[in-house]
Amino acid sequence: MQYQHTPVLPDELISGIQVKSGGVYLDCTVGGGGHSALILQKCELIKLVAIDHDQMAIAAAQVKLSEFSDRLEFWHGNFSQYRPKQKFNGIIADLGVSSAQLDLPERGFSFRDAGDLDMRMDQSQTLTAADIVNDYAEIELSKIFFELGEERYSYRIARAIVKARPLKTTVQLADVIFHAVPRAYRYGRIHPATRVFQALRITVNQELKALETLLQKAPDWLEVGGKIGIISFHSLEDRIVKHRLKEDDRLRVDTKKPVIATEAEVSVNPRSRSAKLRIATKLEPLG
Ligand SMILES: C[S@@+](CC[C@H](N)C(=O)[O-])C[C@H]1O[C@@H](n2cnc3c(N)ncnc32)[C@H](O)[C@@H]1O
């Protein structure tokens, strides 16, 4: 099976959470297993629990991390629903979709090649992007595109989609969006469908809600002195991470500013361009 994903900010994340011998770690988003492998390679006495709600990601990570199988446990599900059996010395989450998910047209995340409008990270869930695109009211679509895609032509795009229904594939949807926006906007830095696709993906997978829940629960899963490191890829996520870590009296923020990729990393892994890493440490309980 093809499951390619290059981990972003690898050194920054691993050194930031101070992986130590004998530690137990939680990777909330194992994906292709890149970050987990780096943690497990640090020392033979490290144990790790790896979560993903994409069954394909779990299967790929099981292969990639097979040499560590005796100190590795997988949990298939949404990290917001996880119930730990022990405390951790470090917790990581590398949010969003993996390159592998983006590259498979049948997953429906990308409009590069035609695929069904799916976008589910967890394929056992029922709601797909097609349900939203074909069934939601125009006003609801417009709100989603504006709030979760920060798309300034949200209203025009929503109207064009409703007119063109039913839409079946990613490429059809991208084409409708392309023709709905002003000419000058069609050939900008990013394809005019990019923001709408982001908004649909966030909606299908309830991504912001899951992140809020994780940030509320995860500090209790950490040992005192343990670290949490979160990598986000767009401003809506980063805003949540920044504020929740800062407001949390169980934590002390280690990163005054988010850690970003070096030019060298961006040149070999363009996906790292928008990555922002924030780290915090679990404090002694008050009182
Ligand atoms: C960017 S990839 C992680 C890549 C990984 N760090 C690596 O080095 O290969 C994000 C992964 O997180 C998973 N994911 C996103 N949100 C999730 C959630 N709420 N619960 C569980 N897994 C989630 C996705 O299915 C995807 O496989």
pLDDT of residue 4: 78
Over residues 19-32, the pLDDT tens digits come to 999 999 999 999 99
> What CATH architecture is 126-204?
Orthogonal Bundle (1.10)
The answer, yes or no, to whether residue 287 has pLDDT greater than 90, is no
Confidence of residue 5 (pLDDT cuts 50, 70, 90): confident
- In short, whether 238's Cβ falls inside 6 Å of ligand 1 is no
The residues, any chain, with a CB within 8 Å of residue 187's CB and separated by 6 or more, are none
CA of 54 to the centre of ligand 1 (A): 8
Reported as a pLDDT band with limits 50, 70 and 90, residue 188 is confident
Q: 107 C-alpha vs ligand 1 centroid, how far in Å?
A: 14
The predicted-structure confidence for 52-86, as pLDDT tens digits, reads as follows 999 999 999 999 999 999 999 999 999 999 999 99
- Torsion angles phi and psi, residue 99, rounded to 5: -60, -35
Please give the distance, rounded to the nearest whole angstrom, from the Cα atom of residue 161 to the centre of ligand 1: 29
Sorted by where each begins, the domain ranges of the chain are 10-100+207-282, 126-204
> Before 270, cis peptide (omega within 30)?
no
For residue 52, the CA-to-ligand 1 centroid distance in Å is 6
Pick from 39, 31, 26: nearest CA to 4: 31
Tokens 């790790």 belong to which residue?
48
Is 52 close to ligand 1, i.e. is its CB under 6 Å away?
yes
Tell me what the mean pLDDT of segment 243-270 comes to.
97
Residue nearest to atom 13 of ligand 1 (CA): 29
**What pTM does this model have?**
0.96
**Nearest atom, ligand 1, residue 233 CA:** 1
Which residue's CA is minimally distant from atom 19 of ligand 1? 78
Q: Find the distance separating the first CA and the last CA of the chain, reported in whole Å.
A: 52
| 191 pLDDT more than 80 | yes
Ligand 1 midpoint to CA 24 (Å): 19
35 Cβ below 6 A of ligand 1 = yes
Q: What is the mean pLDDT of the chain?
A: 96
Residue 3: pLDDT above 80? no
When the candidates are 1.10.150.530, 3.30.360.10, 3.40.50.150, 3.20.20.70, the CATH number that belongs to 10-100+207-282 is: 3.40.50.150
Per DSSP, the three-state class of 99 is: helix
Q: Is the pLDDT of residue 245 over 90?
A: yes
Q: Is the pLDDT assigned to residue 189 strictly greater than 90?
A: no
- On the question of a common fold for 10-100+207-282 and 126-204, the answer reads no
| CB distance 121 to ligand 1 below 6 Å | yes
CB count within 10 Å of CB 271 equals 17
- Rounded distance from Cα 180 to ligand 1 centre (Å): 32
pLDDT in tens, 198-242: 999 999 999 999 999 999 999 999 999 999 999 999 999 999 999
Sign for the CA dihedral angle at 164, 165, 169, 174 comes to: positive
* In the predicted structure, residue 2 carries a pLDDT above the cut 80: no
For a pocket test of ligand 1, which of 62, 97, 121, 273 has the largest count of ligand atoms closer than 8 A to its C-beta? Answer: 121
What's the gap in Å between 78 CA and the centre of ligand 1? Answer: 10
CA-closest residue to ligand 1 atom 18: 78
